[in-house]
Amino acid sequence: MLPLHLFLGHVVADHAFTNNAKIRTYRGSKLLGHIIWSLFAILAFTFDTFLRSRLGTVLLIAFFTVHALLDIVRVKVYPKGNLLNLVELVGLASAFVFNIVGVRLLKGSYLSNEFVLYLLGMSVVSTGVTYFFRNFYPKDEFMSDIEGISERLAVFIFLLASKPLFVFLSLLIALFYRLIFVKRFDHTWWISPVSGLLISFAWRLMLYG
């Protein structure tokens, strides 16, 4: 199984625990704060392996420089949607390339490859789907997706733990929550659980075969 520690660090820095739509608008100290946060997020998954060697240290410095530059470029091109998506794609591609270059260094990490892939799946099923909603369909840049994220994460966790009853209950509770508290029909209602199920099944196959 391919270790994706650096790639995960990039995803966490710019998507997980961070509203990607908001960081596009950051200026001054807020942008600097995000760049510093990104450094610690990337280091959290790589420090125990990359900092042991000269190559690893160079890779970290080089990638963080690229990451910081892309953070600045993202703000500069906002709100040009196509260019923003290109910036995110370049960021993901560069993270993957740097990860591949340093893949041998990641052996022996305190984080197993399986756990890293599991965390990456959690990011994809939660913020990955939200990114699609905000940037492609229904293309509402600042839409709230708190209910959807919670629903998809629950499905992911229970499905990978082989708990089909809890998967069903998670979907049922999410539906009732929307009907009782949201009180308006939204076309993303069906996209969220379906995408959560599909991504979770795909990740289960990758982890367990």
Same structural domain, 5 and 23: yes
CA angle 24, 27, 30 (to 5 degrees): 90
Same structural domain, 23 and 62: yes
pLDDT for the residue numbered 79:
87
From 107, 125, 156, give the residue that closes a domain.
107
Same structural domain, 103 and 121: no
Same structural domain, 33 and 102: yes
Q: What does the chain come to in residues? A: 209
Is the pLDDT score of 68 beyond 80? Answer: yes
Domain region containing 100:
1-107
Q: Which residues contact 168 (CB under 8 A, 6 or more apart)?
A: none
Name the percent of the chain lying above pLDDT 90.
79
Same structural domain, 123 and 97: no
- Overall pTM surpassing 0.95 (yes/no): no
Binned at pLDDT 50, 70 and 90, residue 184 comes out as: low
pLDDT tens-digit readout, 34-43: 999 999 999 9
Is the pLDDT score of 1 beyond 90? Answer: no
From 68, 83, 107, give the residue that closes a domain.
107
From 56, 76, 107, give the residue that closes a domain.
107
pLDDT for the residue numbered 147:
84
Same structural domain, 103 and 11: yes
CA distance 89 to 188: 24
Q: 79 preceded by cis ω (within 30°)?
A: yes
The pair phi, psi for residue 145, each rounded to 5°, is -135, 35
Is the pLDDT score of 73 beyond 80? Answer: yes
Is the pLDDT score of 26 beyond 90? Answer: yes
- Kindly report the number of other CB atoms within 10 A of residue 72's CB atom: 12
| Domains contained in the chain, number | 2
Handedness of CA 96, 133, 13, 109 (dihedral sign): negative
Is the pLDDT score of 141 beyond 70? Answer: yes
Same structural domain, 103 and 118: no
Same structural domain, 128 and 91: no
Same structural domain, 200 and 116: yes
- Kindly report the number of other CB atoms within 10 A of residue 166's CB atom: 15
Same structural domain, 79 and 133: no
Same structural domain, 38 and 128: no
Weakest-pLDDT range from 25-34, 43-52, 172-181, 193-202: 172-181
Same structural domain, 178 and 76: no
